Amino acid sequence: MAVVEEKVLALEGKMEQVGTSLARMETILASLDQKVDRLDQRIDKLDMRIDRLDDRAVKLFLWVIGIQMTTLITMAAGLFAMVARLIPNP
């Protein structure tokens, strides 16, 4: 009977160690879950910032296109005026 009791005591000790290890692992996993949640929030904020920057880049690109078109029209009008002056009036 003494051998059985020793084995039971040894198993109880090992089970306590397993329980302690599981508790530590749960704590570590909870901490990791919080870090992942914070990382998800930061990624969401970064996505929003990238979207705003993308919208801004599109607006600026449209402004550049508008300025170029205005310049082209102005140059064409200037050339037309120069050609019109070169043509003799009857």
Q: pLDDT of 29-70, one tens digit each?
A: 999 999 999 999 999 999 999 999 999 999 999 999 999 999
Torsional class of 43: left (φ above 0), alpha (ψ -120 to 50), beta (otherwise): alpha
Residues 38, 17: Cα–Cα separation, whole Å = 32
Residues 87, 54: Cα–Cα separation, whole Å = 49
Buried b / exposed e along 19-44 (16+ C-beta atoms within 10 A): eeeeeeeeeeeeeeeeeeeeeeeeee
Its pTM stands at: 0.59
